[in-house]
A and B are shown apart, each in its own frame.
Chain A
Amino acid sequence: MEHAVNRDPAAAAPFVFATAQYESGDWDSAPTLPANLIDSVARYTSLPVAPQGVAVALASDDALRYPLLFLTGHLPVRFTPAEGRVLQRYVERGGLLFIDDHNHDVDGAFHKTVTEEVARLLSPLKPLPNTHTLYTCFFEFDDGPPTTSHELNGWGDNLIHEQLLAVQRDDRIQVLYSNKDYSSEWNFHPDNKRFLGKDPTRFGVNLVVYALTR
């Protein structure tokens, strides 16, 4: 017996922000980031967005249900075989994986291991041109990825990273990699957003728009 489902045809399916949960490392190192990004998507766009993000196991096929997967951490990353298989399927079939180095340190354990894993499972990361559509698809970022206040905070490599890295296919980003520590930049208490001169999560809105339209 099949059951009918009630749904408003005029209502589009909402965007759900998903954080990738992997076995090694600390996948939940930026716990308030999803709420801040969801707030920005709802604030600046008319895209329907789910009010709560989800944490989805990278080893589960459930990860394939989300257009954008966010992956962050400080610690070494080694994907399990199951995580590797899902990651490959996710990326090959059209998902966008955004990896942010919470250490903002090119000599750090997270950077070294996760870039190795991406190269092993997918393809080596390469610099993404600052003229890419990602930087203009909603907010305009003429100089490429916005600089964070954490890049020169005395921790990490103390470098301004001019470009993000990416794995692309046919001009479409499959994996986007950042050493700019957006995980720290966007991981503020939601109440503090009003005190920020310029909303740092605006680039996150571009990520969501890009993931949904290209």
Chain B
Amino acid sequence: MPSRADAAAVAPADAWRQRAEWAARAVALVALALAWWLTGRPFTPNALAATDAVAAHDVQALADVVSDPRRAAVDLPLDSVPDAASRAVLHAARQAGVAVVWWVPTPSGSLPALAISTAALADPAGGTRVRVTGRDSAPAVLEDSLGWLDSATVLEGGVQWPVTGELRAFSVNQLGTHGSVGAPAKRQVGRVRLYAAPGWEARFVMDALEEAGWEVDAQFGIAPRVTRTAGAPAALDTARYAVVIALDSVAWSSAPAIARFVADGGGLLLFPDAAAGRAFASLRVATPGALLAGVPGGLRTDTPRRGLPLQPLTVLGAEAVVLERSDRAEQPVSVAAARVGAGRVVQAGWASTWEWRMLGGDDAPDAHRSWWRTLVQRAAYAPVTDRADAWSPLPGDAAPLADLVARLGPAQPMAATATRTGQERQAGTPSLPAPAPAWLYAVAALALLGEWWSRRLRGAR
């Protein structure tokens, strides 16, 4: 056995070998320490930037990207809101731990905040009013499954379309962003009861509404004890009637029954000669002002109601909502509405609307009919009926941008996107465990193996 003195007297070659063994130990320790340090620091993902905005709208491409186990993050430039299916894929990826961030590669840095709502029209022909809120001054296109229905420029943030016919769903496209919404449940409408003296005004109101699909009941006093009926007049009841039209003083004697009808939920259209009577004081939306003669030649202009006599609605009640203003001087209120009891009263200041139909331009009969139709829709009592087969669009499609933000968070600023580091990309996204580089472990293992091999060759343990 070598003595301590022998051991101390080490040959020079062994001294170099021992130094190399210490160096191998040091390398192994450094490699292991580096691996430990790298494991502890936040992970820099292998971010994916979609090659172009179109890729963000390809559901299959997105699904392939986010399901790739090598992808820990998705970085999307979006020029429009992806459709519901794509949003669902991205949301699922985010829930599964993939970091998803999006940004808008345009100077505005934002996408149209589209929102769509629908309400069934109170109209015997059915139909839907589609209201859209979107980017101002930008065109919006209304579509159904067959194609375009209409288009309009969004002004003051909104646009609306009355759509006739039975459609199951509506889509709106603004600047490439699509939203869709299902048709609302249908409404059940009753008949119209007209109170008026015989004459062209009454006749043309009936004509206009019957052409629009309404059934109109009226009873005209022709002589003492002689009446002539149109339709089948019956007692006022919301089960039978949706709207009462009080055109003139003939309605005064029926005002108490009309008031009960409105209190029960019925609608009332009140015109100046009827509204002037004290009988309608409790139902008036506003006080009719002095009668203004129609503007000569006005019936043949683009605003034909200028040519009609008008009693402006001067003193509006607290609950009154202005529905229409005349384009005459000072823009007096010509139509206003208010809720009375469970019903609605729409009061108009126009008189002798038959002149519009007879003396107006080429489109006067259509325009007259459409105006009356809209007026009745606004007042009509029309309870919603259940519809078992109501179709629902994909969740969130009525407001696609809001849905995108709810699912993925807000857009990242474009400038930040261009310069941010991998760490910044992770802001607001779940932190992930970082894999340690395998070559560090290999270096440590090789260093330790070499150190062990060297010691064994020189006989040491």
Contacts and interface: CB of A to CB of B under 8 A. Distances in A.
Contacts of B190: none
A214 interface: yes
B199 A94 contact: no
Nearest to B206: A214
B249 interface: yes
B222 interface: yes
A2 interface: yes
Interface in A9-53: 9-10, 12-13, 15, 44-48
Contact of B222 (A4, A6, A9, A47): A47
A2 B293 contact: yes
Contacts of B223: 44-47, 138
A64 interface: yes
Contacts of A12: 197, 199, 248-249
A137 B226 CA distance: 10
A138 B197 contact: no
Contacts of B221: 46
Contact of A10 (B200, B273, B352): B273
B329 A212 contact: no
Contact of B358 (A3, A44, A94): A94
Question: Contact size class for A?
Answer: 20 to 34
B230 interface: yes
A67 B292 contact: no
B304 interface: no
Contact of B273 (A2, A9, A94, A137): A9
A9 B249 contact: yes
Contacts, number: 91
B178 interface: no
A81 B1 CA distance: 142
A213 B203 contact: yes
Contact of A209 (B222, B274, B355): B222
A44 B223 CA distance: 7
B204 interface: yes
Contact of A46 (B199, B222, B290): B222
B357 interface: yes
Contact of B357 (A4, A5, A93, A137): A93
B359 A2 contact: no
A156 interface: no
Nearest to B250: A12
A209 B291 contact: no
A5 B273 CA distance: 13
B197 to A, nearest CB: 4
A7 interface: yes
Contacts of B230: 213-214
Contacts of B199: 12-13, 15, 67, 212
Contacts of A116: none
Contacts of A9: 248-249, 272-274, 276-277
Nearest to A45: B223
B352 A46 contact: no
Interface in B351-366: 352, 355, 357-359, 364-365
A213 B230 CA distance: 8
A117 interface: no
Contacts of B293: 2-3, 5
B309 interface: yes
A95 interface: yes
Given A2-B293, A2-B328, A94 B277 contact: no
A4 B290 contact: yes
Contacts of A46: 221-224
Contacts of A5: 290-293, 309
A67 B200 contact: yes
B369 to A, nearest CB: 11
Interface in B167-224: 197-204, 207, 220-224
Given A46-B224, A47-B222, A209-B222, A4 B203 contact: no
A140 to B, nearest CB: 11
A6 B230 CA distance: 32
B445 to A, nearest CB: 98
Interface string A184-206: 00000000000000000000000
B228 interface: yes
B203 A212 contact: yes
Contact of A213 (B228, B272, B364): B228
Contacts of B365: 92-93
Nearest to A138: B222
A3 B222 CA distance: 34
A29 to B, nearest CB: 27
A61 B359 contact: yes
A138 to B, nearest CB: 6
Interface in B393-414: none
A126 interface: no
Contacts of A13: 199, 201, 352
Contacts of B203: 67, 94, 212-214
28 contacts: A2-B293, A2-B328, A4-B290, A4-B291, A5-B293, A5-B309, A6-B291, A7-B291, A9-B274, A13-B199, A45-B226, A46-B221, A46-B223, A46-B224, A47-B222, A47-B223, A64-B358, A90-B358, A93-B364, A94-B203, A94-B204, A138-B223, A209-B198, A209-B228, A212-B203, A213-B198, A213-B220, A213-B230
Q: Which 10 A-B pairs have the closest CB atoms?
A: A4-B290, A9-B276, A12-B197, A9-B273, A10-B249, A212-B198, A64-B358, A45-B223, A5-B291, A2-B292
Given A65-B359, A213-B222, 18 more contacts: A2-B293, A3-B292, A4-B291, A5-B290, A6-B291, A9-B272, A9-B274, A44-B223, A45-B223, A48-B197, A64-B358, A64-B359, A94-B204, A209-B198, A209-B228, A213-B202, A213-B203, A214-B230
